[in-house]
Amino acid sequence: MQNIICFVSDFGLEDTWVGVCRAVIYRACPQARVVDLAHQIPPFDIRKAAAVAASGVYQLPEAIHLVVVDPGVGGGRADLCVVTRSGTRLVGPDNGVLIPAARRAGGIAEVYAVDPANIDFRPPLGTFHARDVMAPAAAALACGVSPESLGSVVDPDKLAAAPFQPCRSEGTHVLSEVVDVDRFGSVRLGVGEEEMTELGLVGNRFEISFGHLVFDVPFGHTFSDVEIGETVAVLDSSGWLTLAVREASAAEKFGIEPGAPARIRPHG
């Protein structure tokens, strides 16, 4: 039984929210082990949270992933437990934040709308479903409760759309978008390791374009494959194809932001 819960939120660390959620988990399931994967997501930034959660699933697919960036809390959207085809379990709101992580874990197998009555006798506070619904649901999973016991079945086709879509091929190019810019300013594209092989992104150099910006860059093993200040494409530690500048911010240097469309093809 997997009892690691990877927790992602936009709660920050200045207030009580993260600590209270952790306490709720430990009260319900003392053997749970909470990993604070990221709590400095910019407020309400579903795209960033989805990218971080997908990165977490890439590195810890066996864990339970609790993802709470929830601008619509209390407004009628469902609290979800998503079970992927590879067995990864995700808990979070129905606002698209879980979908990229589910894709990276083989796609959605089952979805359940968490019923608060199935995990606690108290109605949830309208502004804090993380504490009152989602954290208890993650704790229940960590203690061996089956996902189907948490609530009713949801049609995956009726879930809110993801904040970014899967990459796809078009002629000789792969079309994607910037899913994230990391702390160092490296530009993460929505192309994972498996997609690179499936879509024919193999070779020693790539042409990567963002509108009128066109880069002909080496595909390196690591950042130090190029000189300081030079540009390189790498597969980063979260499994994304990434455009980086050694010891500098590619995003700042080239003015690239999350959501920017990208075209990629092997080049030499």
Could you tell me the domains of the chain?
4-158 (3.40.50.10790), 168-266 (2.40.30.90)
- Say what percent of the chain tops pLDDT 70: 99
Could you tell me where the DSSP H helices lie in 111-259?
A: 129, 135-142, 193-198, 250-254
Residue 175 phi/psi, 5-degree rounding, is -100, 130
Give the closest residue to 230 by CA, choosing from 245, 212, 247, 250.
Answer: 245
* Confidence band for 194, pLDDT divided at 50, 70 and 90: confident
Q: Say how far apart CA 243 and CA 224 lie, in whole Å.
A: 13
- For residue 120, pLDDT over 80 is answered with no
**Across the chain, what does the average pLDDT equal?**
95
Residue 1: the pLDDT is 61
pLDDT at 126 over 90: no
**Beta-sheet strand order (sheet of 151-153):** 33-38, 4-9, 64-68, 89-93, 79-84, 108-114, 151-153
pLDDT category at 242 given cuts 50, 70, 90 is very high
pLDDT of 61 > 90? The answer is yes
- The model's confidence at residue 123, banded by pLDDT at 50, 70 and 90, is confident
Higher pLDDT, 197 or 64: 64
Q: Is the model's pLDDT at 127 over the cut of 80?
A: yes
pTM: 0.94
Tell me the pLDDT band of 180, cut-offs 50, 70 and 90. Answer: very high
- How much is the pLDDT for 39? 98
Cα angle 195, 198, 203; round to 5? 90
Evaluate if residue 173 carries a pLDDT over 80.
yes
Q: Which tokens hold the place of 170?
A: 């078009």
Nearest to 102 by CA among 67, 57, 48: 57
Integer Cα distance of 92 and 94 in angstroms: 7
pLDDT tens per residue, range 96-115: 999 999 999 999 999 999 99
Q: How far apart are CA 232 and CA 228, in angstroms?
A: 11
Select the more confidently predicted residue: 171 or 112: 112
Q: What is the pLDDT of residue 268?
A: 66
- Which residue would you say has higher pLDDT here, 2 or 66? 66
Q: What is the largest CA-CA distance in the chain?
A: 63
Locate all alpha helices (DSSP H) within the chain, ordered by sequence: 17-28, 46-59, 99-104, 129, 135-142, 193-198, 250-254
Task: Look at 43 and 126; give whichever has higher pLDDT.
Answer: 43
CA distance 218 to 247: 16
Q: What is the pLDDT of residue 84?
A: 98
Q: Is the pLDDT of residue 213 over 80?
A: yes
